[in-house]
Amino acid sequence: MVKENRVVLRNHGELDPLKIDEYIARDGYNALKKAFNMGQDDVIEEVKASKLRGRGGAGFSCGLKWLFTKQVEADQKYVVCNADEGEPGTYKDRMIMQYDPHTLIEGMAICGYAVGADKGYIYCRGEYPYILDILNTAIGQAAEKGLLGDFSIEVRYGAGAYVCGEETALLASLEGKRGEPSCKPPYPTVEGVWKKPTVVNNVETFASVPSIINKGAEWYSSIGDPDYPGTKILTLSGDVNNTTFFEVPTDTTLREVIFGLGGGMKDGKAFKAAQVGGNSGAFVPESLLDTPIAFDSMESISATLGSGAVFVLDETRDIVDVSCRVAGFFVHESCGKCAPCRIGTTRIHEIIERIGQGRGNAADLVLLKDLGSVMAGSCLCGLGQAAPVPILSVLKHFAEDYDAAIARAGEVC
Amino acid sequence: MGGDCLHIVLQNPKSMVACTCFGLRMGDILRLMVLNLKSIYNIQRGGVLVEYKKLVDDYTSMPGGLIEAFHAIQNEHGYLPEAAINEAAEAFKISAAEAYGVATFYSMFSVKPRGKYVIRICRSAPCHVEGAQEVIAALEQELGICMGGTSNDGLFSLEFTECVGQCQERPVITINGEPYAGVTPGDVPGILNEIRNK
Ligand SMILES: Cc1cc2nc3c(=O)[nH]c(=O)nc-3n(C[C@H](O)[C@H](O)[C@H](O)COP(=O)(O)O)c2cc1C
Ligand code: SF4
Ligand code: FES
């Protein structure tokens, strides 16, 4: 039986998030003190050795990112926490900030010390206004106790744009501009906010750091999958019994998540599909449920771990209708900067809508696949590149549903 | 025509010459300028003069503070009035077009007046499959308006949103940012009454 392993969420429900003394009583800010004594290089070395990889979706080595930022000569560097959390079905970053803000603050301060940045920003999505006071109170408490050294943190708010989760768009938004992505390189590690070297990490990534410094890289890298070690917070929605959150080692399989922790399918219905990683993730069929959630194993089945959202559908769900809604999300969220995405997302949605309404034909499926491969290769940022992923996965694994919808169209005519 | 012309004139007084070429008399132009000055102040809440500039000025010293300034204006007025956007553009030393571009990029900002309470309904897939549509129908019926509309009493506006990160219970709506998770159509009248009685 699979069990939770709470590393990031170790304090969840165990303390009052507004009382710093309760955090300190649970070993809080020890890692930061330890980091100050270790020296910058050793902190980065420790994080690198832990093999912690980004929890925001791209899976890049956290230690390497810090190293690159440290290596650049600059008069000012920044640490930015990506708290834009926009993937539908995801609320893990909110849980961390709402119930244990000091873990995030400590992780950011360790990063600031390691890379030589004295200023940090938390870019929080505008949909979480109720978190502002919690974060500011916690930051104020830590500063008042002099725990953060010369590091300061400011909370900034987005205003409802999923694309601002993409790091270059996020930094543009932080500068008060339209949140449109830009071409990389230069990467933020070299030219980030206000053209200064900037570390951008996800909330969960930063929140993993204090435990790594406290307990050591060896301890961390031995948890879960060797190539993507540690734990991952998953948020379950859809037709399972326990639609809640879990923190599990990264070698846990999807089947263990859905049928173990998730308590299996609701009302005794049969499993049909699980969309993993949020709206931009692939739909996974029953036959692939024994895949571990780790980054690379998910990639090996053309899926992504993404934000860790697991959206489960039972046999009665209309997957054409669900994929139509998934496609509609990208129409709304495309920033419109580049044509393949601006037009492609609209056309994908239009075609699926047509098929769903019983007006599709077999040529539409070819069109969808073509459009998908053009977008994957030509869109400027990850939003447009990933937009066809869920659709192509449905066409691959649930082709019969699309065929049936098209056959119905034949009957209508 | 009057509005457009006015902007040109305000940003470049020399263009008055151009305007007169289009057949506007000097008197008209001056009258328009006075009108615009008036619109910088917005008369709200029983005649209290509200100066947008005050709200904006709190954020000009904050690098990249335009979005925070917009949040402050919207928290106060429910939307971003044109005059406020112009005021912000001036304070942040950017063009009005640029400021307007930012205001319209973000889905939480509105450049049109809205009800006192903005109800947003999550339509992302997890909420969609668990009855978001039925909640929308109940809200529309209860308020007598369609999605995107504002009720006659000016109290409520209905808007779509994508996931608001409260997916532990679905479907989810927010009212002025406050989440209500696991809403059923039957809950709708009660929720609206609770707000009306505030
Ligand atoms: C469209 C799009 C949306 C994204 N949204 C988020 C997000 O909400 N949160 C996040 O941490 N990363 C998001 N990312 C990934 C970021 O660009 C970036 O890789 C990440 O913040 C780096 O942090 P990490 O290395 O700790 O994962 C998004 C990427 C794309 C292309
Ligand atoms: S891919 Fe889409 S979201 Fe990304 S830059 Fe192009 S239009 Fe904008
Ligand atoms: S999917 Fe509706 S709140 Fe997250």
Long-range contacts of residues A283-287, Cβ cutoff 8 Å, at least 24 apart: A283/A319, A283/A323, A283/A390, A283/A393, A283/A394, A283/A397, A283/A398, A284/A254, A284/A393, A284/A397, A285/A397, A285/A398
pLDDT (0 to 100) of residue B158: 98
Q: Residue A303's closest CA among A255, A260, A346, A254?
A: A254
Contact A60, A183 (CB under 8 A): no
CA of residue B166 to ligand 3 center, whole Å: 6
Residue to substitute from A177, A334, A383, interface B, most B β-carbons within 10 A: A177
pLDDT band at A9 (very low <50, low <70, confident <90, very high): very high
Q: Whose CA is nearest to atom 6 of ligand 2?
A: A338
Give a yes or no: residue B84 inside a domain.
yes
Give a yes or no: residue A359 inside a domain.
yes
Q: Is A94 left (phi over 0), alpha (psi -120 to 50) or beta?
A: alpha
Give a yes or no: residue A3 inside a domain.
no
Residue to substitute from B124, B147, B160, B174, interface A, most A β-carbons within 10 A: B124
Instruction: Specify whether B109 is located in the same domain as B128.
Output: no
Show pLDDT as tens, one digit a residue, over chain B (198 residues): 333 444 444 444 444 444 444 445 555 555 555 444 444 444 444 333 367 988 999 999 999 999 999 999 999 999 999 999 999 999 999 999 999 999 999 999 999 999 999 999 999 999 999 999 999 999 999 999 999 999 999 999 999 999 999 999 999 999 999 999 999 999 999 999 999 998
- What residues have CB less than 8 Å from A394, skipping those under 6 apart? A273, A283, A319, A323, A401, A402
Looking up residue A80, the CATH number of its domain turns out to be 3.40.50.11540
pLDDT band at A408 (very low <50, low <70, confident <90, very high): confident
pLDDT (0 to 100) of residue B25: 56
Q: What angle (nearest 5°) sits at the alpha carbon of residue A270, between those of residues A264 and A276?
A: 65
Task: Name the closest ligand to CA A182.
Answer: 2
Give a yes or no: residue B22 inside a domain.
yes
Model ipTM value: 0.96
Instruction: Specify whether A347 is located in the same domain as A363.
Output: yes
Contact A384, A364 (CB under 8 A): no
- List strands edge to edge, sheet with A152-157: A152-157, A119-124, A78-83, A198-202
Give a yes or no: residue A252 inside a domain.
yes
pLDDT (0 to 100) of residue B44: 45
Looking up residue B155, the CATH number of its domain turns out to be 3.40.30.10
pLDDT (0 to 100) of residue B26: 59
Instruction: Specify whether A40 is located in the same domain as A185.
Output: yes
Q: pLDDT exceeding 70 applies to what percent of chain A?
A: 99
pTM: 0.92
Q: pLDDT exceeding 90 applies to what percent of chain A?
A: 98
How far is A275 from A393, CA to CA, in rounded Å?
Answer: 10
Interface residues of chain B, partner chain A, Cβ below 8 Å:
63-68, 70-71, 92, 101-102, 105-109, 123-126, 128-129, 161-170, 174, 177-178
Instruction: Specify whether A346 is located in the same domain as A304.
Output: no
Which residue matches tokens 């159509």? B185
Instruction: Specify whether A301 is located in the same domain as A328.
Output: no
Looking up residue A284, the CATH number of its domain turns out to be 3.10.20.600
Looking at A179, A194, A222, the residue that finishes a domain is A222
Domain that holds residue B106: 58-113
CA of residue B184 to ligand 3 center, whole Å: 14
Asked which of A26-40, A393-407, B3-17 is least confident by mean pLDDT, the reply is: B3-17
Instruction: Specify whether A54 is located in the same domain as A28.
Output: yes
Looking at A263, A279, A314, the residue that finishes a domain is A314
Test B128 with A322 for CB contact under 8 angstroms: yes
The pair of structure tokens assigned to A290 is 């024994």
Number of compact structural domains in chain B: 3
Looking at B69, B98, B113, the residue that finishes a domain is B113
pLDDT (0 to 100) of residue A361: 94
- What residues have CB less than 8 Å from A389, skipping those under 6 apart? A280, A281, A282, A302, A304, A376
Q: Whose CA is nearest to atom 28 of ligand 1?
A: A166
CA of residue A82 to ligand 1 center, whole Å: 7
Instruction: Specify whether B184 is located in the same domain as B148.
Output: yes
Instruction: Specify whether B177 is located in the same domain as B148.
Output: yes
Instruction: Specify whether A268 is located in the same domain as A366.
Output: no
pLDDT (0 to 100) of residue B151: 97
Put simply, whether A326 touches B (Cβ < 8 Å) is yes
Instruction: Specify whether A401 is located in the same domain as A279.
Output: no
Test B71 with A91 for CB contact under 8 angstroms: no
Instruction: Specify whether A184 is located in the same domain as A209.
Output: yes
Give residue-wise pLDDT tens across range A48-64: 999 999 999 999 999 99
Looking up residue B99, the CATH number of its domain turns out to be 1.10.10.1590
Domain that holds residue A204: 20-222
On average, the pLDDT of chain A sits at: 97
Q: Which residues contact ligand 1 via a Cβ below 6 A?
A: A 54-58, 60, 82, 84-86, 163, 165-167, 200-202, 205, 381-383
Number of compact structural domains in chain A: 3
Q: Taken in order A193, A198, A201, A205, is the CA torsion positive or negative?
A: negative
